Structure 1
Amino acid sequence: MNPLIVGEGVVIDVPAKRVLDGVTIGLGEGDKIGVVGRNGDGKSTLMGALARRRTLDAGRVTWRRDLRVGFLDQADVLDDDATVGAVVVGDRPDHEWAGDARIRDIVGGLLADLAWDAPIGSLSGGQRRRTALASLLAGEWDVLFLDEPTNHLDVEGIDWLARHLNGWAVRDKALAVVTHDRWFLDAVCTTTWEVHDAIVEAFEGGYAAYVLQRVERDRQAAVIEGRRQNLMRKELAWLRRGAPARTSKPKFRIDAATELISNEPPPRDTVELKKMATSRLGRDVVDILDVSVSYGDTQVLDRVEWRIGPGERAGILGRNGAGKSTLLGLVTGEVTPSAGKVKRGKTVKIATLTQSLSELDAVANDRVTDVISRQRTTVLAGGKEQTPTQLLEQLGFRTGQLSTPVKDLSGGQRRRLQLLLVLLEEPNVLILDEPTNDLDTDMLAAVEDLLDTWPGTLLVVSHDRYLLERVTDHQFAVVDGHLRHLPGGVDQYLTLAKGGGAAVASSTRPDTAGGTASAPARDAQQDRELRKELTRVERWIKQSDQRTKELEGLMADHASDGPRLTELATEHAEVATRLAELEDRWLEISESLG
C-alpha cells in the first residue's frame, strides 16, 4: 500500500485542552477510514490536520507530490447568488457534463428534486448541504475527507452515497469520513479510527468490527469503567445476533469477544415490555381507520389504516415530503383527517421529541440541575425507579456538567437533556423525530440502551437505519400516500424505492390501505434485485421459523400459567402471520423469476 498522507507526531491544542498529543497516522491507497469518538474529542480536528486545513502546534503532515485533496466541511460556504448547476459543474457545457456517467449519477443521486438553475440562496439548509456534497464529488480527487456527509440525506440518499463511495475509493484513492451513522460506517469503511484521550487507535473493519475489537480490548485491559464496557457488550450482542454477516469480513480473532456476550440477553424483553405497556395503556392506543388527508388539491395520505397497539415499537420510513409528519400528526391529534377517523385510548399520553431544540429556549439561562429538579423526583427506567440525575449520568453527563447553564451545553448535550425532559413527563406513547441529531456513536448506544427498557409505545422517524433496526421491532413506509408494512425492514424499503411506484404496487402484499397492481416488464437489473430479495426473504423465513419453535416450547413450559400463556400465544400468532407473509413473498418472487 503506497502512502498518500502521513501525519507524524501531530500535536494540536485548544484553550484548556490538548486535542491531539503526538499522533502518528496516515492514509494509503485504497484506504476507507471511518473516524469515530465522542463529540469534542477531536475527530474533525484530526481530519483538518491531515488535510492541511489546521495549524499544528507540533509535528508535521506530509503529502505525496501533486496530491489532490477534497474536503467536505460542516460549514456552509456556498455563494447565495450562484446556481445549483454552476456550483456542481462550473462553466462546463451541458453536453460535456451530461455525457459523463459519473456526473449524471451524482446529480441523480443527490439533486434529482432540485432545479438546475435554482439560485443557492433559495434553497433550504438540507438542499444546500446536498449541493455542496454533489459539487465535491464531481471534482477530481485522490483523497476525500468528509465531515458528516450523511447529514440531511434520507435513507435512499445514504444508500446511494455508500454505493458511490465504494465504487470511487478503490486502487489509488483514499477516503476518511466522520459520521455518527453506524450503518454507513459498516457499509463503506474498511478501517475505523477511534479518537479519544488525545490519541488515535486504529481498528480493522467498519463499525461492527470496531465494536468487537473494542469489547475485547476492554476485557483484556480491564481499565474501562464498568458502565461503558457493559453498554458496548450489549451493542456487540445485538450486532452478533441481528447481523452476523457484518462481522464475517474482519481477519482478527473474535472468539474471546464472542464469549463475553454468550450469556447476554436480547436487548429487549419484548413480552415483558408489552405486558407493562398494556397495564399503562390498556388494549386501545391509537387506531387510524381508512384515513385520507389533503391540503387543498394535494392529497398526502390516501385511505391509510394503522392500528397501533400497546408496546408497539415501529419505525417509519419515507422520502422527504412523503407524509411522515402528517401521519404522526394524525397520531398526536395535530392533523385532522379529510376522511376516515382516528380513535385514541382514554389513557393515552403522547410526548414527542422534535428535531428542534427550541423547547429549551425558555430555560437557556438555568442550570441543568435546576431544570430537572422541577420535574419528577423519580422515573421508571430499566425496570426500577431512578432519579433524573441518575438518568443524566446514564446519558453521559458528568457530575461537574450538572451545574452548567443550558445555553452553554453542546448540541449533543442539549439533545440528551431534551430527551430526558420528555421521558420525565412519563408519556405512554413516545414519538421520536430524527433523534440522532448531534449524538456521537457512544451516546447513540446509551440512548438506545435507555429506550430498550422504556415500557410504552414507541414510534420513530429517522434516516438512521441502524437506529431504526436497533430500537424498533417493525418498520413501515409512507409511499404514494399509502402506509405499508415492511416485513423485510429497511432493505425491503430500498428495494421498493428503487423500483418506483410500480414496484411498490406489485410487492409482497397489499398495504393496509389496499390494492396491488400487476408488475411491469423487468430488465436484468430488476432480476438481480429480485434475486437479492429472495435471498433476504429466505433468511427472514428461517429466523421467523426458529422463533415460532422457540415460542411453542415456551408455551408448553407455561401451560399452567394463564396470563403468560396468553402473551406467548399472542406473539406466536404475530410471528406466524409474518412467516406466512414471507412465504407468500417467496412464492411470488420465485414465480416471477420463473
Structure 2
Amino acid sequence: MAFLLGCEKVRVEFPTKTVFEGLSLGVDEGARIGIVGQNGDGKSTLLRVLSGDVEVDDGRVIRTRGVSVGMLGQSDDLRDGDTVERAVVGDRPEYEWAGDPRVRAIIAGLLEDVDWNATVGTLSGGQRRRVDLARLLIGDWDVLMLDEPTNHLDVRAITWLAEHLKTRWRRGAGALLVVTHDRWFLDEVCEAMWEVHGRRVWPFEGGFSAYIMQRVERDRLEALAEQKRQNALRRELAWLSRGARARATKPKFHVAAAQALIADVPPLRNELELKRMAMARLGKQVVDLKGASLRFGNRVILDDVDWIIGPGDRYGIVGANGIGKTTLLRIIQGLQPLDSGRVKIGQTVRFAVLSQHLDELRKLGDDRVRQVISRYSRRTMLDGKEMTPGQLLERLGFTKDDQNEPVCDLSGGQKRRLALMLILLDEPNVLILDEPGNDLDTDMLAAVESLLDGWPGTLLLVTHDRYLMERVTDHQFALIDGKVRHLPGGVDEYLKLAEEADREAAKNTEGGRRGGSGTCPGNGIANRPGSSVGGDLGRPSSAASNDSGNAAAPSTPALSGGEQRALRKLMASNEKKIETLKGKIEKKQLEMAAADQSDYLVLTAMQEEIADFEAQIESLELEWFEAAEKLGE
C-alpha cells in the first residue's frame, strides 16, 4: 500500500496547552480510520495538522507529491450570497454535473429538501452543513478528512453517507479519516481506529466494536489505577455482546471472544426492578394519546393516533428531519394543542426535558459550576444507590478544575452533561431527551448511557444516533405519515419502510421529477420547502401493515401450532449444532497448540477450518434469533 501522508516527531503547542508531543504516524492508501478521544484531547487539531491547516511547532508533516486532500471542518467557508447550486458545483455548466451519476447521487442523498436556487444565507444551520458536505463529496480527492460529518443528518442521511463512503473508492484505494461520536457510523465505515489521548495517538485494528474490546483488555492488563474507566468500558462491551450488534449478520468481532471479559458484568438494566420503582413513583398512568390529530396547514403531524406510554417505558422515537418529532414531544407534555383527540397525563407525572439548544442553562450565566451544585443538597437514587450532587458530577466526567469554571465558558459537551445532571437532581419521573448525544465524545456517551441505565422512570428519546437509541431504549417507534408505528426490528426496520415508501412514490410519480426550472434532472431535487429526506412514508411494508397508528404495545403475528413447533424444533436443533461446532473449535485449537509452530501452511489450514466453524456458528445463531423473534421470545 502506497504512503499518502503523515507526520514525524510533531509537536503542537497552544498558549495554554501542549496538544501533541513527538507524534509520528502515517496514512496509507486504502486506510479507513476513525478518530476518537475525549473532548479537548486534539481530534480536530490532528485533522488540521495532517491537512496542513495548522502549522506545527516542531517536526514535519509529509505528503506524497500529487496527493489531494478534502477537508470538512466544523465550520464552513460558504458565501452567504451564493446560491445552493453555486456553493455545491461552482461554475460548472449544468449539463456537465447533471450528467454525472455520482454527483446526482450525492445531491439526492443530502439535499433533497433544499431549494436549489436559495441563497446560502437563508438556509438553516443543518441545511448549510449538508450543502458544505455535498460540496466536498462531489470533489475527486485522494484523502477525505471529515470532522463530525453526521451532525445535522437524520438516520436515513447518515445511512446513505456510510454507504457512499464504503463504495466511494475501489478496495485499497483512497483514504478516509473521520472524527465522530456516532459509534454505529464508526463501525460501518472504519477498519482501524486512532485514540487521541495524552498528547499521543494510539492505533487499534478494526472498527469501534473491536477498539472497545482491545481497549478493555489493554486497561485490564496495564491500568489497574484506571479501574473506574475500565468498568465503564466493560459495561459498553456487555451491550455490544448482548444487544442489537450481537445479532447483526456481519458483526465486527466475534461475540464469543468477548464473553470471558464480561462474564461477571451484570445486565445493563434490571427492567422489572426499574418498572417496579417507576410505578411506585408514577402510578399506573403516565401519558395516553387518544385519537390525537394535528395539522400545520397541509402538513400532517399526527393522524388519529392512539399511543399509551406507561411507567418505566423506555421509548426511542425516529423519523426524518422536519417530520414533527419535537412537536410530538410537546404534545406528550400537553404544551401543544391538538386539532382533535386528547392527551391524558397522569396526576403524578413530573416532566423534565433536555433540549437540543440547552436553553435551561442560559439563566445560570457566569455562575461557576461549584456554585450551581451547592444549591442542591438532596441526594438522588441511581442504580439503587444514593448519590450526592458531587458524586453525580464526578461520574459525568467533571474534574475539580472544571467545577471552578463559569457555566458560560464550558464546552458544549460539558454544558450538556451539566444540564442532564441538574435535571436528574430535580427528580422528575418522565425524562425527555432531545438529541442528548450532541457534543459528547464516545467516553462521555458511555458514561451518560451507564447513568441512564439505573434511572427509574419513563424515558423518551429522540436521536439520530442509532447506537445510542438501541443502547438506552427498550422499544423504538417511528413517526411516519402522521402515525406512531412500533419498530420491532429497530432502526433497520424504519430504513426498510422508508426505502419501500420511496420506491412506491417513484412508481406513482413516474416522470414527474424530470426537467423543470430549478430541478436537477433525474436526481429527485425539487424546490419544495419542507420536503424531507424521509419522503412519503404513507405505505408501510407488509411487516407493519397491521399497525394503523395504535402503538400501545409491540405485537407478534399469530402463528399456528404447527409453525410454533417447527420454530422451536429449529431453535433446539441449532443449539445442538452450535455446541458441536464449539467442541470442534476447541479440539482444533488444541491441535494448533500441539502442532509445529514453524509450519505456517499447517497452521494456516487449521485456522481456516476454525474460521469456517465460526462462520457456521454465526449463521446458526442468526437463524436462532430470527426464530425467537417470530415466537416473540
Q: Judging changes above 3 Å, is the alpha-carbon distance between structure 1 residues 480 and 584 closer, same or farther for their aligned structure 2 residues? A: farther
**5+ residue gaps in structure 2?**
502-536, 552-563, 576-624
Corresponding letter in the other structure for 2:132: A
Rounded Cα–Cα distance in structure 2 between residues aligned with 1:513 and 1:155: 21
Q: CA deviation at 1:247?
A: 11
Following superposition, the deviation at residue 171 of structure 1 comes to 2.6
**Counterpart of 2:487 in structure 1: which amino acid?**
L
Tell me the residue number matched to 2:68. 68
* Partner residue in 2 for 1:385: 386
Structure 1 segment 408-487 matched on structure 2, within 5 A:
408-487=409-488
Per-residue Cα deviation, 1:322-363 (whole angstroms, up to 9, x for no partner):
121121111111111111111111111111000112221211
1:92 shift after superposition: 1.7
**Within 5 A, what are the aligned runs for 1:515-526?**
none
Identify if the C-alpha distance between structure 1 residues 584 and 241 changes in structure 2 by more than 3 Å, giving closer, same or farther: closer
- How many pairs align? 528
Q: Distance in 2 between matches of 1:195 and 1:505?
A: 44
DSSP 3-state at the match of 2:478: strand
Residues 20, 492 of structure 1: CA spacing in aligned structure 2 closer, same or farther, 3 A cutoff? same
SS at the partner of 1:336? coil
Q: What does residue 362 of structure 1 align with?
A: 363
Provide the residue aligned with 2:94 in structure 1. Answer: 94
The equivalent of 1:319 in structure 2 is 320
Q: Sequence identity of aligned pairs in percent?
A: 54
Cα deviation per residue 1:215-273 (whole Å; 9 max; x = unaligned)?
A: 00011113451111100000011101222367977689984x54121121221111110
Distance (whole Å) between structure 2 residues aligned to residue 308 and residue 397 of structure 1: 34
- Quote the Cα distance in structure 2 between the aligned partners of 1:307 and 1:502: 22
> Structure 1, residues 17-48: CA drift from partner, whole Å, max 9, x if none?
21111111111111110000000001011111
- Paired residue secondary structure (1:421): helix
Q: CA deviation at 1:395?
A: 0.2
Partner of 1:48: 48
- Answer whether contact 1:434 1:461 (CA < 8 A) is retained: yes
Question: Shift of residue 16 of structure 1?
Answer: 2.6
> Tell me, what secondary structure is at the counterpart of 2:402?
helix
Cross-structure match for 1:163: 163
Cα distance in 2 between the residues matched to 1:475 and 1:404: 38
* Poorly superposed stretches of 4+, deviation over 4 Å: 245-255, 578-582
Corresponding residue for residue 136 of structure 1: 136
In structure 2, the CA distance between the partners of 1:306 and 1:581, relative to structure 1 (3 Å rule), is farther
Shift of residue 106 of structure 1?
0.3
Show the counterpart of 1:303: 304
Q: CA deviation at 1:370?
A: 1.2
Matched, 1:18 2:18: yes
CA RMSD of aligned residues (A): 2.4
Contact 2:500 2:541 in 1 (8 A): no
TM-score (norm 1): 0.85
Q: CA deviation at 1:167?
A: 0.5
Asked whether the 8 Å contact 1:191–1:202 carries over to 2, the reply is yes
Structure 1 match to 2:281? 280
State the secondary structure of the residue aligned to 1:275. Answer: helix
Residues 240 and 247, structure 1, Cα contact 8 Å, conserved in 2: no
Partner of 1:103: 103
Q: Is contact 2:355-2:435 (8 Å) kept?
A: yes
Instruction: Give TM-score, length-normalised by structure 2.
Output: 0.80
Deviations 1:75-104 (A, max 9, x none): 121100111111111122222211111101
Aligned to 1:211: 212
The one-letter code matched in structure 1 to 2:426 is E
Q: Which residues of 2 match residues 194-593 of structure 1 at below 5 A?
A: 194-242=195-243, 243-244=245-246, 255=257, 258-500=259-501, 501=537, 503-504=539-540, 506-513=542-549, 583=630
Larger CA deviation: 456-465 vs 85-94: 85-94
Greater relative CO (CA pairs within 8 A, separation 6+):
2
Residue pair 2:187, 2:252 contacting (<8 A) in 1 also = no
Say which SS state the counterpart of residue 291 (structure 1) adopts: strand
> What is the deviation of 1:154?
0.4
Name the SS of the counterpart of 1:267 in structure 2: coil
CA drift of 1:503 comes to 4.5
| Distance in 1 (alpha carbons) for counterparts of 2:337 and 2:540 | 27
8 Å CA contact 1:485, 1:512 repeated in 2: no
Provide the secondary structure at the position in 2 that maps to 1:225: helix
Q: 1:486 to 1:247 in 2, by over 3 A?
A: closer
Q: Which residue identity lines up with residue 280 of structure 2 in the other structure?
A: S
CA distance in 2, matches of 1:581, 1:322: 33
The separation in 1 between residues aligned to 2:490 and 2:95, in whole angstroms, is 40
CA contact (8 A) 2:209 2:253 kept: no
One-letter amino acid of the counterpart of residue 485, structure 1: H
1:225 alignment partner AA: E
- Amino acid aligned to 1:289: K
Q: Which moved more, 1:320-329 or 1:40-49?
A: 320-329
Superposition deviation, residue 582 in structure 1: 5.6
The 3 A distance-change label for structure 1 pair 184 and 328 is same
Query: Which amino acid is 2:546 matched to?
Result: P
Deviations 1:356-415 (A, max 9, x none): 122212112111111112124211112111101100000000122212211121111111
Secondary structure at the aligned position of 2:185 is classed as helix
In 2, distance between residues paired with 1:222 and 1:154? 38
Out of 335-344 and 105-114, give the one that drifted further: 335-344
SS in 1 for 2:116: coil
In structure 2, the CA distance between the partners of 1:250 and 1:274, relative to structure 1 (3 Å rule), is closer
* 3-state SS of 1:343 partner: strand
Q: Which whole-Å deviations, capped at 9, do the CAs of 1:536-588 have from their partners, x for residues lacking one?
A: xx9xx99xx89xx9xxxxxxxxxxxxxxxxxxxxxxxxxxxx99996499xxx
CA contact (8 A) 1:509 1:581 kept: no
